[in-house]
Amino acid sequence: MPYISSFWLYFDVLWPYVLAVLSALVLITFMLLSAIFFVWLERKVSARIQDRLGPTRVGGKYGWLQTLADGLKLLVKEDIIPTNADPMLFRIGPYIALAGAFLAFIALPFGNGVVARNLNIAIFFMLAVMSTEIFGIILGGYASGSKWALFGGMREAAQIVSYEVPRAISVIVPVIVAGSMNLTEIGKQQTGPFWNWIVFHDPFTFCAFWVFFTCATASCKRAPFDLAEAESELVAGFHTEYSGFRWLIFFMAEYGSMFAVSGIASILFLGGWHLGLLPPGWDMERLFGTVFGNFINVVVFILKGWFLVFVMMWVRWTLPRLRIDQVMITCLRYLLPMSCFLLVGVSVWQLVAAELTWLSLVNYLLAFGSLFLFGFMVFKAAATTAVSPTQLMPGAWPIAGSAGPHVTHKA
């Protein structure tokens, strides 16, 4: 049987490469599908926050297929390259952005060992490739040959180069606690109940989570930091001149990197793929076996990432956009010193906590305090009944003498 044995010989040699291609396909499918989901979610979330319904017709009651309709529309749109644009740079801009966002997924573990490439320095790799994403946006903005796009690209460059610094420093804080840059390793250390999560480890990691999440929102150029697009000032910022498929690719990249930073946040701070409700030392694999347990891990991880993306949308549609100088001051005057202080603080804490064991009580205090606060907020939100205003809407100007249909003054 020489033929079969030689086939298996080649199979053995080629299998890792086939596996690599397969995992890349799975990852890019996941990234694009979740982008489709996020676009729908963004429409629905923004609509609910603005007291609207959002898409309701395409694909049933909740407008599930709205994004597919959008995508179809964008695909058949005319592809315009402005006369003033530099065609080569204009073309490659979106692809560089998408490649940067996608490469980050290679090192992102979705479960215990469910990762395309278990890099030893996964978090550093992710930060590095995500910094290439902005280069595509800057190129696109520059090459459009339009002033709006140029301003958008310049703002993007200034903003991201500044926000990368506190983002990287606040990433080092949990890395110091975990003692590893391997994301799988960091995830494994948070097995068991939720007070094992690094965010509750000490006050410094707790603050570092908020600093990181703010910087991550800014580096995905999401509102209130979306100065690169700033519709109210710059028409559409860096993508003013883009239409159709290239515009779509920019947004795929944005939603992809939103999930990537949310994934980083949930692994570094929020327990990664652990549900946080199991007793110490237990994880899903011990409960349900390797395969099914890891399946639950992946589901938990994706839900956590989606929740953080939802929080980003919630923030976007709640807070007004900052001015560009306010964005820079937020970073350079507040977030940067804060992250440096947290870095020094967590280093001191690690040295001191080794001596004083009672300091670990802070861990439980933080965990249960946050749980109580979260529960209280959910209770308040659920207990408050939503009432549609029967009187003058807050903020509306009463017009003397003319009571509109919605204005029913009561004596």
Partner 1 sequence: MDVQTALFWILAGLTGLSAIAVVVTQNIVRSAAWLLFTLGGVAGIYFLLGADFVGATQLIVYVGGILVLVVFGVMLTAQGPFVTMKTSAAEWAISLVVGLLLFSVITLAAVNAPWPQDAHHSEDMESAETSQNSVKLGAAFLGIKEITPKKDLTGFPMGKTPPERKQVAYLLPFEIVSVHLLVVLIGAAYLARAKRRRGMPT
**Which residues contact partner 1 (rule: CB under 8 A)?**
13-14, 17, 84, 86, 88-89, 92, 96, 117-121, 124-125, 127-129, 131-132, 134-135, 138-139, 142-143, 145, 150, 153-154, 157-158, 160-161, 164, 181
Of the candidates 177, 356, 349, the one whose C-alpha atom is nearest the C-alpha of residue 267 is 177
Task: Output 36 or 108, the one with its CB closest to partner 1.
Answer: 108
DSSP string, 208-243: HHHHHHHHHHHHTT-TTS-TTT-HHHHTTGGGTT--
Task: Output 64 or 135, the one with its CB closest to partner 1.
Answer: 135
Of the candidates 308, 340, 349, 331, the one whose C-alpha atom is nearest the C-alpha of residue 172 is 340
SS3 assignment, position 279 = coil
Task: Output 44 or 155, the one with its CB closest to partner 1.
Answer: 155
- CB of 93 vs partner 1, minimal distance in Å: 9
Task: Output 160 or 309, the one with its CB closest to partner 1.
Answer: 160
Instruction: Return the residue matching tokens 């991201």.
Output: 160
- CB of 82 vs partner 1, minimal distance in Å: 11
For residue 155, the Cα-to-chain-centroid distance in whole angstroms is 20
The alpha carbon dihedral of 50, 51, 52, 54 has a sign of positive
- CB of 297 vs partner 1, minimal distance in Å: 19
Task: Output 23 or 131, the one with its CB closest to partner 1.
Answer: 131
Task: Output 153 or 305, the one with its CB closest to partner 1.
Answer: 153
- CB of 171 vs partner 1, minimal distance in Å: 12
275-308 core/surface letters (b: 16 or more CB in 10 A; e: else) = bbebeeeebbbeeeeeeebbebbbebbbebbbeb
Q: Residue 14: in which H helix or E strand, if any?
A: helix 2-49
Task: Output 16 or 280, the one with its CB closest to partner 1.
Answer: 16
- CB of 211 vs partner 1, minimal distance in Å: 19
- CB of 110 vs partner 1, minimal distance in Å: 16
DSSP string, 90-148: HHHHHHHHHHHHHHHGGG--SBTTB-S---TTHHHHHHHHHHHHHHHHHHHHHHT--HH
- CB of 130 vs partner 1, minimal distance in Å: 8
